Amino acid sequence: MEQGLLAPETLLWTSLMSALLGYGLYQALTSQTKSCSENRTHLADSQSAALFLSFTFGFSPVLKTLTESVSTDTVYAMSALMLLAHLVSFPYAHPSPPGSLSLNAALFASVCLASRLPGTLHTFAMLTCALLVFALWPCLLQRLRENAPGQFTGVCAGVCVGGVGGLGSQSLGGAVLLSLALVSVTLICPLLLVRLQRHKDNIHGPWDEAEIQEDLSRFLH
C-alpha cells in the first residue's frame, strides 16, 4: 500500500470477505460439537465486530499522525521488537484465546507501521487486516486443528508458502532466510531431537533418591 500497488478499498473488502468466510468456517466446525446458545453468541460477535470497526475508524485520523515526528528507523526498530515479543510470548500450547502480551505487542507494532501510510483509509484497512491476522486467525487454526487434523497440515503448509512468496516479492534474501527458518524449526529440530535420543545417557550416583530393592516379603512372615 505504501508503494501504491494496492488500493486500500481492495484490501478492506478482501479482509471483510475473508473475515466472514472464516467466521462461517468457525461456526461450521463448532456446530459438530455443540449446537445450543448459538443465537446469543452471534449477537455478541456482531456487537464486538461493530465495536472494533467503529473504534478503528474513529481513531484512524489520530493514529495516522501519531508517529509523524518519530524517525522512520525508530518506527521500524520498534515494530520489529514488538513482533519479536509477539513471537516469543505467543501461547503455542492453547492459542485459542490469544495471550495478552503477544496480542498487544502485535497490535502495537501494526499501529506503528500503519501510522506511516499515506492516508486514513489505508490506516483503517491495515488495522483491520492486522486484527484479522493476529487475533482471529489463531482461533480458527486451533478449531481446525481440533476437528480436522488432516486439512490442518495442508492449511499450515499453504500459509508457509504464502508467507515466503509474499516476502519474496519484496526481497529475495528475506524469503530465503524465512524458508530456511521455517524448515529448520519444523523439520530439522524435531529430527535432531529424535536422533539424539539414543545418545542420551543417565548417570547414576549417590545423589539419586534411595530405591528399595530388597524383597520385603520376608518381613511378612
Partner 1 sequence: MDFMRKAHILVSVLVDVALGVLLMWWLYRDDHIAMLANTLVPAADRVARQLEELLQWLMGAPAGLKMNRALDQVLGRFFLYHIHLWISYIHLMSPFIQGILWYGGLSACLGLTFALSLLSDMVALFTFHIYCFYVYGARLYCLKIYGLSSLWRLFRGKKWNVLRQRVDSCSYDLDQLFIGMLLFTILLFLLPTTALYYLVFTLLRLVVVLFQGVLHLSLDFINSFPLFAMALRICRPYRLAEGVKFRVLCEEPGTALHLLMEINPLKCSTLVQTYRTPTNSCYPRDSWAALVKKLFVGELIYPWRHKSTKTD
CB 175, min distance to partner 1, A: 30
Nearer to partner 1, 29 or 101 (CB): 101
Nearer to partner 1, 122 or 164 (CB): 122
Nearer to partner 1, 27 or 179 (CB): 27
Residue type, position 159, single letter: V
Interface residue list for partner 1 (CB under 8 A): 48, 51-52, 55-56, 59, 62-63, 65-70, 97-101, 103-104, 107-108, 111-112, 131, 135
CB 147, min distance to partner 1, A: 21
CB 32, min distance to partner 1, A: 23
Nearer to partner 1, 62 or 187 (CB): 62
CB 136, min distance to partner 1, A: 8
CB 142, min distance to partner 1, A: 14
Nearer to partner 1, 101 or 148 (CB): 101
